[in-house]
Amino acid sequence: MGDGIQIYELQRMDLRGATVIDGFPSVGLVSSIVANYLINALQLRQIGIMDSPYFPTVSLVREGRPMNPVRIYAGSKPEDAADQLVVFISEFQPPPNLIKGIASTVLDWAQDQRCVQLLCPEGLIVDREAEDAKEAEVYGIGSTDRANEILKKNGVAIFEEGVITGVAGVLLNEGRKRDFDVVTLLSEAHPDYPDARAAARVIETIDKLLLRTELDAKPLYEEAERIEMQLKSIHQQTDGVKKPASPQRPSMYG
Amino acid sequence: MGDGIQIYELQRMDLRGATVIDGFPSVGLVSSIVANYLINALQLRQIGIMDSPYFPTVSLVREGRPMNPVRIYAGSKPEDAADQLVVFISEFQPPPNLIKGIASTVLDWAQDQRCVQLLCPEGLIVDREAEDAKEAEVYGIGSTDRANEILKKNGVAIFEEGVITGVAGVLLNEGRKRDFDVVTLLSEAHPDYPDARAAARVIETIDKLLLRTELDAKPLYEEAERIEMQLKSIHQQTDGVKKPASPQRPSMYG
Amino acid sequence: MGDGIQIYELQRMDLRGATVIDGFPSVGLVSSIVANYLINALQLRQIGIMDSPYFPTVSLVREGRPMNPVRIYAGSKPEDAADQLVVFISEFQPPPNLIKGIASTVLDWAQDQRCVQLLCPEGLIVDREAEDAKEAEVYGIGSTDRANEILKKNGVAIFEEGVITGVAGVLLNEGRKRDFDVVTLLSEAHPDYPDARAAARVIETIDKLLLRTELDAKPLYEEAERIEMQLKSIHQQTDGVKKPASPQRPSMYG
Amino acid sequence: MGDGIQIYELQRMDLRGATVIDGFPSVGLVSSIVANYLINALQLRQIGIMDSPYFPTVSLVREGRPMNPVRIYAGSKPEDAADQLVVFISEFQPPPNLIKGIASTVLDWAQDQRCVQLLCPEGLIVDREAEDAKEAEVYGIGSTDRANEILKKNGVAIFEEGVITGVAGVLLNEGRKRDFDVVTLLSEAHPDYPDARAAARVIETIDKLLLRTELDAKPLYEEAERIEMQLKSIHQQTDGVKKPASPQRPSMYG
Amino acid sequence: MGDGIQIYELQRMDLRGATVIDGFPSVGLVSSIVANYLINALQLRQIGIMDSPYFPTVSLVREGRPMNPVRIYAGSKPEDAADQLVVFISEFQPPPNLIKGIASTVLDWAQDQRCVQLLCPEGLIVDREAEDAKEAEVYGIGSTDRANEILKKNGVAIFEEGVITGVAGVLLNEGRKRDFDVVTLLSEAHPDYPDARAAARVIETIDKLLLRTELDAKPLYEEAERIEMQLKSIHQQTDGVKKPASPQRPSMYG
């Protein structure tokens, strides 16, 4: 595609069998909050960066260390040292012309590393009235029948009809084309501010699907709220870096 | 052309002798309604996708399965298992700079598969007064003398003078250049909303030309109206995906 | 130039010694009217098309046959079967970035075919008062001394000082560079509508230079007027196809 | 640079030891007037053209001969047949993205031909009050110490501090990089109209540096004024060809 | 990246072990003032230029010598002839699309020359009230733990949390990726005019880190103010050259 998107590994790890989490910004910053939570809670280490001549020219300094805006973290799940978790996190909202390149670079790399699946946390906008009527929920949609089966087995409602845009949408299409398991987890979220509760519900679903660590929900929700505050501040700081002004808005018509 | 348009086959089928239907959006969404009707009525299966870095970054979820915005379906005609039907359907209106690439990719692929002809359903805008005066009709125009002969033999009026724009226009020119039978079927249609009746008239003509299944017109018109409602809703859902704001408008001066 | 302009031959003809007429739109559509007249009067046959990914995505249907917007016609002059005439005709006004590519593609092809000269009919805008004062006239300018000699010998006034823009201007420059005879015939024309009389004067000059068929002027002027009406209607029909809003305007300061 | 700027030689000449004059438009059209004067006064012949797909699509007709907008002339100096003079003259103001390509093409060609130096006549804008106070003057600046020495030896004041933009600026930088003698001669000029007097002062300086023909100043100033009128008319004629709306404005702070 | 940024060496020097100073414009022109001061104070010589087809088409004339807008100077530190200093200085603010190319070209070249570190002086915008409350300070941030250690050992406060944009930000990221020592020195500066005092504080820090020449602070501040005046005048002169209208604004949240 000529967009020169590349992944640089800062540290080699054996990632066979790992699950990859897509943390590119989505509605209500659900993916960003989830990615940040997992990096902190599971103490993942930065193993690489993703860069392109068209990514922002910015260095983020955290705890006295400069960082690229798009980074890759990895580490083991607490219970099971064999199964790794990889998290892509991005401090910028990719413009439309970079989305296909980013999605295929993530997937190419995941397949090269012999990772086995990719999870995309997404926010889902719902009508205000509908929201009052029914309980907020997490829906799932997989790129393959295999992936949909796992969702059903774990009691995750299938997202039957609708549209998913952006990196997550392209990952789903690519997953189907390549017969690779991509799962989008959609949590009803407010489109206008970081929605920590929507993220917490996704984290509970990921825990159910992958970690089975029976995490206490309360600190998780508190943690989510802390991250929410932090992210708001980061996005205010990142002057000149494009804010998710027109966020990806998958909508639901189930 | 550097637009990287490619066809990916999800499933191999022997398509020698098949007829290809162009379902890229046209005036009154005639082509979309026709394509959808044929896929449902003949229970065609998805055999491939068409994609490009410049196509929309969107996944359409239908019945719990993610789908690309441009897809290829195929299957047998009910009466005659030997003669296949292939349908290209697109949920997005291609911008002008992609039209030539799409048309030649469709035709290259059709010729590689040894398909024998290509049918393009199109809407035709007519003057309001003229519309009242004479009965709505379907006109046809072929890329070759051979194709025009078949139209005449089946009682389809020839579109003698006028202009056909967009994918259908380029397919006609390319068909003539390659000596490949491309037939545009023009049905008088309202430019401003999905015109199910115009589509039904094209379906009757296709039935006459290809299927000879003597389908009952009534359920066909009802079905067309159902699809019309569904398409309206899909186009409202597909937020961010370019709507056919300036649709292709072939006009008639016969 | 990366504009991918190509000529496709639909039919092979021996064009050695032929004269090529440039019918790309000019001021007052003089070139278009002349090209149409010659195609009809001499019953030329379409032998090829010129196409590019950047040409309009449109098919023109005439007498039940689809046609590309830029076409090549050829045939013999009535008196002398050995000397062929080739006419390039275009239904669209090329944008500035395609003009150099079109001119050099025409000239490359003409030289490959061993054609011997190229004639460009052009309209010439004159001041209103000046127009009243002196008789409307046809001026000529050749790319070579040889071409200018032929003009003088046939009593065509030389266009001494001025500017010629667009395809005709580039063809003159290229002709001089390649030492190939390119002749621009400039006829005083109204810039705002198809000027059939200006075209008729050019046709009389072409007749003098090439055909010597001593055509009766009256039917020629009538024919020109008929074509004028037809062209006006075609340009109204070609909705979406760029109209010659800012036509090429060579001006005269002789 | 991908701008495809090329020089075509219409006629081969031995130009070893020649001086090249840059006649691309500058403030007050000083360079254009100087280039025109030298071509006429020394009866130089056109030996080549410079062209690019991005140059204007226009043919200039002068004395019944079509010409490219950028041309190269050459001939001997009157006193000394061995030392040639080469003049680049351009009827259009190059846009910023073509300036570097033009400058390096001129210099590459000059070095290939073993020319020994390049002179760039430039206009210099001065403050109105300052202008009244002191006599108008010609300043010089060379790309090498060698070139500056020659200027000083001939009594030309050195342009000590300031900024030179456009083709002349890039030629100076390139000359320094390649150790090739490039000399810019800056004459105080009005920015808003062709300044024949500023050009006449540059011609006197060139005469001093190169020709030593002791030309009578009076006819020179008259000639300059005639050219000024002619150039004004040409620029009005060249409709559609970009006018030097925002001319290069070197300014002086000596 | 296709931006064709290249370094041309005018003079070869052995630069093994040298420290490189980045003088591309930053907030308050801190980097420009520092770079100019070092060139003058240490009498560095110009050894090269950096150029690209996309850099401004301008020649800066200083003391009768034409210069490119981006230049490289080098020379020895006064006390220790073995340790060289290299300064990149730019008279223009690079647009966003050139920043990554400039940063990697600087770093590639520095590594080719076996230079050992790169210092980037930057201005840091602070809140007006906060400014009154606490003493203005210089912070540092290194691309490696090694670089941060050196900062701490020399008593430079670490920039713990924040965002650094532009050339300096990309150099930090690249330095981390390549494990090359890049140090950004951030001095609280006024964003709206050349801030000589902020620059003087950075010069004191550089003296502490590198030169240990125990320079008297007073002349340094006076010199800084002289440069400030000169730079203001240069930026007014450089008409047509893009001014740092939207300067890089790293902000501090320590």
pLDDT digits (tens, 9 = 90+) for E196-231: 888 889 998 998 888 666 555 566 677 667 776 777
Chain D residues touching chain E at CB-CB below 8 Å? 1, 96-97, 99-101, 103, 141, 143, 148, 158-170, 172-173, 175-177, 249, 251, 253
Output the CA torsion sign for E214, E217, E222, E225: positive
pLDDT of residue D143: 97
Which one, of A121, A93, A31, A89, lies nearest residue A247 by Cα? A93
Q: Which parts of chain D sit beneath pLDDT 70? A: 1-2, 77-82, 127-136, 211-220, 223-224, 235, 237-254
D135 residue type, one letter: E
Highest-scoring range by mean pLDDT, A61-75, A191-205, B134-148: A61-75
Query: pLDDT of C175-218, one tens digit each?
Result: 999 999 999 999 998 887 788 888 889 998 998 888 666 555 56
pLDDT in tens, B1-33: 467 899 999 998 999 999 999 999 988 889 999
Residue A67 has pLDDT above 90, yes or no: yes
Per the CB < 8 A criterion, the answer to whether A36 and A89 are in contact is yes
CA distance E116 to E163: 25
Residues E81-108: tens digit of each pLDDT:
557 899 999 999 999 999 999 999 999 9
3-state secondary structure chain B: CCCCCEEEECCCCCCCCCEEEEECCCHHHHHHHHHHHHHHHCCCEEEEEEECCCCCCEEEEECCEEECCEEEEEEECCCCCCCEEEEEEECCCCCHHHHHHHHHHHHHHHHHCCCCEEEEEEEEECCHHHHHHCCCCEEEEECCHHHHHHHHHCCCEECCCEEEEHHHHHHHHHHHHHCCEEEEEEEECCCCCCCHHHHHHHHHHHHHHHHCCCCCHHHHHHHHHHHHHHHHHHHHHCCCCCCCCCCCCCEECC
Residue range B151-174, pLDDT digits in tens? 999 999 999 999 999 999 999 999
Q: With an 8 Å Cβ cutoff, are C59 and B169 in contact?
A: yes
- Of the ranges A83-92, B110-119, D220-229, which one carries the lowest mean pLDDT score? D220-229
Cβ(C47)–Cβ(C11) below 8 Å: yes
Q: In this predicted model, which residue has the larger pLDDT, A194 or A141? A: A141
Region of residue C64 (left: phi > 0; alpha: psi -120 to 50; beta: else): left
Does A1 sit within 8 Å of B60, measured CB to CB?
no
Of the candidates D162, D165, D251, the beta carbon closest to that of E57 is on D165
Q: Which DSSP helix (H) or strand (E) runs through D90?
A: strand D84-90
Token pair of A242 as six digits? 């494009």
Q: What is the pLDDT of residue D252?
A: 38
Mean pLDDT of chain E, nearest integer: 84
Which run of H or of E encompasses E48?
strand E45-51
Q: What would the two tokens of residue E119 be?
A: 């210092």
Choose from C59, C60, C98, C231 for mutation: most chain B CBs within 10 A: C59
Phi, psi of D105, rounded to the nearest 5 degrees: -70, -45
E59 neighbourhood in chain D, CB within 8 Å: 163-165, 168-170, 172-173
Chains that touch C (3 or more CB pairs under 8 A): B, D
Q: What integer is the mean pLDDT of E187-201? A: 85
**Crossing angle between the packed helical segments C96-112 and C166-178, to the nearest 10 degrees:** 40
Residues of B within 8 A of A253 (CB-CB) are 233, 237
Q: What is the spatial distance between Cα C172 and Cα D65, in angstroms, rounded to a whole number?
A: 9
Q: Is the pLDDT of residue E113 over 60?
A: yes
- The confidence score (pLDDT) of residue E193 equals 75
Rounded average pLDDT over C22-36: 91
Total-model pTM? 0.86
Q: How far is B142 from chain C (nearest CA, A)?
A: 7
Q: Give the tokens for residue E122.
A: 């930057």
pLDDT higher than threshold 90 for residue A254: no
More confident call, A103 vs E218: A103
CB contacts < 8 A (B, C): 76
C239 is written with which tokens? Answer: 């909705």
Partner-chain contact E1 A239, CB within 8 Å? no
Nearest-neighbour CA in chain B from C135: distance (Å): 39
- Indicate whether C250 pLDDT > 60: no
ipTM: 0.85
Judged by CB atoms closer than 8 Å, whether chains meet at C169 and D59 is answered as yes
For chain B, state the CA radius of gyration. 17
Chains A and E touch (3+ CB pairs under 8 A): yes
Beta bridge partners of B121: B185
* Residue C119 predicted with pLDDT over 90: yes
Chains D and A touch, using 3 or more CB pairs below 8 Å: no
CB contact set of B119 (below 8 Å; sequence gap of 6+): B19, B20, B21, B22, B183, B184, B185, B206, B209, B210
**For residue C238, with 0-12 CB atoms within 10 Å meaning exposed, 13-18 middle and 19 or more buried, which class applies?**
buried
d(CA B86, CA B80): 14
Q: What are phi and psi of D75, to 5 degrees?
A: 170, 175
d(CA A202, CA D38): 80
Cross-chain Cβ contact B58/A141 below 8 Å: no
C-beta of residue B170 within 8 angstroms of C-beta of residue C53: no
Higher pLDDT, E132 or A22: A22
Q: How far is A51 from chain E (nearest CA, A)?
A: 10
Residues near E217 by beta carbon (within 8 Å), at least 6 away in sequence: E200, E204
pLDDT at position D175: 97
- Binding partners of A (≥3 Cβ pairs within 8 A): B, E
pLDDT digits (tens, 9 = 90+) for E27-80: 888 999 999 989 988 889 999 999 999 999 999 999 999 999 999 999 876 655
CB contact under 8 A, A59 and E167: no
Give the whole-number percent of chain B exceeding pLDDT 90.
59
**Given this model, what pLDDT does residue E194 score?**
81
Q: What percent of chain E has pLDDT over 90?
A: 59
Is residue D32 helix, strand or coil?
helix
Q: Which two tokens stand for residue D99?
A: 């300036």
DSSP letter (8 states) at residue A143? S
Q: Name the token pair of C167.
A: 């395809």
Q: Are A28 and A53 in contact (CB under 8 A)?
A: no
Mean pLDDT within E123-139 = 68
Say yes or no to pLDDT of B128 above 50. yes
Q: Per the CB < 8 Å rule, is B240 touching A249?
A: yes
What is the C-alpha separation between B21 and D8, in angstroms, rounded?
52
Strand-pair partners of C141: C184
According to the model, what pLDDT value does residue E247 have? 36
How far, rounded to the nearest angstrom, does the alpha carbon of residue C166 sit from its chain's CA centroid? 12
Pairing of strands E157-158, E138-142: parallel
Q: Computed from CA positions of residues E232, E233, E236, E242, in that sequence, does the dihedral angle turn out positive or negative?
A: negative
User: Cα separation of B70 and A25, whole Å?
Assistant: 26
Q: Which of D39, D41, D49 is nearest to D74 (CA)?
A: D39
Between residues C57 and A218, which one has the greater pLDDT?
C57
Under 8 Å between Cβ of B183 and B118: yes
Provide DSSP, C167-221.
HHHHHHHHHHHHT-EEEEEEEE--SSS--HHHHHHHHHHHIIIII-----HHHHH
Q: Which residue from C91, C97, C98 is spatially nearest to C66, judged by alpha carbons?
A: C91
Of all residues in chain B, the one with the smallest CA distance to A178 is: B10
| Alpha helix (H) residue ranges in chain A | 30-41, 96-112, 128-133, 145-153, 166-178, 196-206, 217-237
Q: Read off the pLDDT of residues C219-242 as tens digits, 9 standing for 90 and up.
A: 667 766 777 777 777 767 654 444
Question: Given a cut of 60, is residue E18 above it in pLDDT?
Answer: yes
DSSP C67-91: E-SEEEEEEE-SS-TTSEEEEEEES
Question: What average pLDDT does this structure show over E103-118?
Answer: 96
Label residue A3 exposed, middle or buried (CB < 10 Å: 0-12, 13-18, 19+): middle
Closest Cα partner for E28 from E231, E254, E242, E237?
A: E231
Dihedral angle computed from the Cα positions of residues C90, C91, C95 and C98, in that order, rounded to the nearest 10 degrees: -30
Q: Which residues pair with A158 in a beta bridge?
A: A140
Distance from CA of B240 to the nearest CA of A (A): 8
What is the model's pLDDT at position A28?
A: 81
User: In this structure, are residues B98 and B5 in contact, taking their beta carbons and an 8 Å threshold?
Assistant: yes
> Pick the residue with more confidence: D134 or E25?
E25
Report the C-alpha gap between E166 and E175 in whole angstroms: 14
CA distances from B85 to B119, C229, E147 (A): 11, 44, 68
d(CA D249, CA E239): 8
Do the chains contact at D177 and E59, CB–CB below 8 Å?
A: no
Residues written for chain B: 254
Question: Counting every residue, how long is chain C?
Answer: 254
Closest-CA distance of chain E to residue A19, Å = 25
Work out the number of other CB atoms within 10 angstroms of the CB of residue A237. 17
Q: What is the mean pLDDT of chain C?
A: 84
How much is the average pLDDT of C112-123?
96
**Best CA proximity match to C25, nearest among C107, C106, C115, C95:** C95
The closest alpha carbon to E217, from E190, E234, E199, belongs to E199
Helices (H), D49-208: 96-112, 128-133, 145-153, 166-178, 196-206
Give φ, ψ of D14 to 5 degrees. Answer: -80, 110
What pLDDT was estimated at residue E133? 46
Place of tokens 């002289």: E226
Q: Are the beta carbons of B141 and C57 separated by less than 8 Å?
A: no
Q: Residue D146: which of D120, D122, D170, D175 has the closest Cα?
A: D175
- Between the CA atoms of B209, B213, B216 and B218, what dihedral angle is there, to the nearest 10 degrees? -50
Which has more confidence, C105 or C135?
C105
Residue C160 and residue D64: Cβ atoms within 8 Å? yes
Distance (Å) from the C-alpha of residue C43 to the closest C-alpha of chain D?
33
